[in-house]
Amino acid sequence: QVQVVESGGGLVQPGGSLRLSCAVFGSRLSIYVMGWYRQAPGKQRELVALITSGGSTNYADSVKGRFTISRDNAGNTAYLQMNSLKPEDTAVYYCNVVQWTTNLAYWGQGTQVTVSS
């Protein structure tokens, strides 16, 4: 079975930075897209950023210029560098990956990001 594991969340002051990691385990097939989503209390889950196996990226307008998504050369780990954090960035952040050929999607358990002074 495929496991998706996020790490790197925590408490940070406004203007600070965090780097989230998403590691994929147990897939014998390539992952062709990886994305970060977030969900705040009372809000729907929203896409933050995604990256394809070809390196194409897409960002929510609210995080452009502040967040950067990247992927290692092996294609099994994604990162989300978050700079200039704002209180409205507070949410549970989830990693989602889509597996090559099967087109199956897998979610991580989520990691809490809290931005507060």
Given this model, what pLDDT does residue 34 score? Answer: 96
In contact, 71 and 34? CB cutoff 8 Å: yes
Given this model, what pLDDT does residue 74 score? Answer: 84
44-56 mean pLDDT: 96
| DSSP code, position 63 | G
The string of pLDDT tens digits covering residues 18-33 is: 999 999 999 999 999 9
Per-residue pLDDT band for 7 (boundaries 50, 70, 90) equals: very high
Of 109, 100, 107, the closest CA to residue 75 belongs to 100
Average pLDDT, the chain: 96
Given this model, what pLDDT does residue 75 score? Answer: 81
Given this model, what pLDDT does residue 107 score? Answer: 97
Given this model, what pLDDT does residue 69 score? Answer: 98
Per-residue pLDDT band for 4 (boundaries 50, 70, 90) equals: very high
Return the HEC string of 28-43.
CCCEEEEEEEEECCCC
Q: Which residues of 82-101 are buried (b: 16+ CB within 10 A; e: fewer)?
A: beebeeebbbbbbbbbbbee
Per-residue pLDDT band for 73 (boundaries 50, 70, 90) equals: confident
